[in-house]
Amino acid sequence: MSYIKPEDWIPADGFTLEPAAEIAVRNEMNNLILAGPGAGKTELLAQRACFLLQTNLCPSPQKILAISFKTDAAENLKKRVELRCGKELAARFESRTFDSFAKQLLDRFRLGIPESYRPEKEYSLVFTPREIRDIATGYIKERHPNRPNWQYEINFNILYKRLSEENLPIFEDGQDIYSWVLVRLWDILVHGTGKLQSTLTFPMISKLADYLLQVNPLIKRALQLTYSHVFLDEFQDTTYLQYELVKTIFQGTSTILTSVGDDKQRIMGWAGALPDSFEQFKRDFNAGQIELTQNHRSAPRLIEIQNVLAKIINQNATDARVSNQHSDQKGLCQVWNFHTYLDEATFVATSIASRIQQENISPRDICILVKQQEQIYGNAVINELERLGIHARIEKEYQDLISEECVQLIIDFIRLATGEKTHDSWVRVSEVLIFVNGYDLEHDHIKILNMESNLSDHIQKLKIELQQLPNDEDLCKQGISEMVKGIFNFVGLKKIFRLHPKYASGSYFKQTTTEAVKKLTIAYLKHLDWNSSISDFLGLFSIPIMTIHKSKGLEYDTVIFLGLEDDAFWSFNTQKLEDMCAFFVALSRAKKQCFFTFSASRETSRFGDVQIRAQSNNSISTLYQLLQNANVEVLDVSVV
């Protein structure tokens, strides 16, 4: 392979980078990149990867490790790098989530963990304090000598938090009941007992990966030699555990780190995000700071409002500048006031239907955001849209699932069997088969031809299976499940696990594919046509409804935020900064239009009881004041 001299390199695909981005792409020091909404951070990281790979500043066979928070963000960045510099170079670009990176380390080097903390090869995953509570109370049989009723005395949310944060190994402190429980709980969870198999949470996996590297310096050294550069995306949301793992591996080494983040979008404090991650990173890694100021996403009017809010969140915030591509647009932001949530649903649904019909906009370009309880806040709007022939759905049930590689493989096989988008799906499936079988494109022509012939035969078999699916729900689900097993057996289950190590251990692969089969069954029985079913499954014709937290990193032509009310922001007075950041994230998802709604009465859930409650906006008057300061129009909407 011939490489480009660094001074001769130009951005891939004719992109023009703003001066600060050009510096960030080429810099060979540890850097913190401040990138506000629409700054093009995914493109910046993709161009930086191209620069490092095409100039061999990431020298072969070393790799670049990119760590994102969300699966879809990691997948999006991986595809962008492939698009910009080709598959051969992109093979040395590893894009993962924090969870999958830690899990891969644990699964690959599990035997390097001391036996007292070594989980079994097959382990289950649990995700909530309630699950941990049930395990602790159900399986710790030993009685505490002084606290025989400890189950009724401790806070299980605190136990769950300490399970993730306590440094290993854990020792008992006679004065601390939690340490007594933790010693026994760790033993039960990692080794299993009775009917309980080895069971972990993702924070425990991060903790075990960190412990593994501390007791095995040779593994840590191997990682340092493998990755010459590391990208850390959405760095403002980095948790203590995640940051400790990065420090354990890369602090004080020659590996060059690039962190990208925006303190105005720090909304994961509830999940343990470090409050001062930027300052810590600059201090721990002697990192410089580069700030991007262009906003390539939003229309000028929306950027004006974002700049007003940014100054309240951080008085030193630099004003974002309008990109040239939006110079001919104005943009629109309004607050809509309603008497009832039913009036709101009618008006919102009618407005959406009008835009779709009159402006030829796709449902997928409109997003409905809520602060919480999306199923309840969005229910009336979903029903009203359905009445108008427009589908909307709660996106969190699909968002992570669709980005899973094993699910994408299933979709491509089904598309091949139905003749939809055959070329792209054929290329992707063929590339997977060539890669997992280790075929050489230049020398293994006969083997590849045979492979393609076998693939064609399997597609024909799959086509018949799809046509013969019964309409009965249980039988249909069973048929799709068998079809999916057939796809994985054809590719080779062990080969898939080698390609994607996160599926190799535990029950994650089974949980993922089971959920995919369930949702594919629902989609098929709804349409009885696979082309429409796949489009439905992927949400191509649905308006997504999601929380602000789930919308991070996404963008839409139009954003409608339901419920700018005290009940939605119930903790505003105790976490004002974080809620202001959440408001900023909601506003900054929009390209052209952003609307906020207020209803004087709202259906909400309190302690599991759904009821209609009067709403106010007294506690969040600060948010209304800043909208007023930005001259945002407030409309009192009466629905006839």
Residues of the binding site for ATP = 35-42
Q: Structure tokens of 5? A: 């001299």
Residues tagged in the binding site annotation: 35-42
d(CA 255, CA 238): 19
The three-state secondary structure class of 210 is helix
For residues 542 and 526, the answer to whether their CB atoms sit within 8 Å is no
Q: Exposure string (b/e) for 399-424, b if CB count within 10 Å is 16 or more? A: bbbbbbbbbbbbbbbbbbbbebeeee
Instruction: Give CA 204 to chain center in angstroms.
Output: 19
Could you tell me whether strands 93-97 and 63-68 are parallel, antiparallel, or unpaired per DSSP bridges? parallel
Q: CA 225, CA 227: separation in Å to the nearest integer? A: 6
Q: Tell me the sheet residues that pair with 67.
A: 96, 232
- The Cα–Cα gap between 581 and 586 comes to 9
User: Would you list the DSSP string of 107-138?
Assistant: HHHGGGS-GGGPPPSS-EE--SHHHHHHHHHH
| Phi, psi of 213, deg, nearest 5 | -75, -30
Give me the DSSP letters along 264-302. GG---GGGTB-TTHHHHHHHHTT-EEEEE-EESSS-HHH
Tokens at 172, concatenated: 């008992």
Task: Identify which of 589, 630, 601, 552 has the alpha carbon closest to the alpha carbon of residue 236.
Answer: 552
Count CB atoms within 10 A of the CB of residue 121: 12
Instruction: Quote the CA–CA distance of 457 and 283 in Å, as a whole number.
Output: 59
DSSP reduced 3-state for 506:
coil
445: number of Cβ within 10 Å: 11
Report yes or no: 121 and 197 within 8 Å, Cβ to Cβ: no
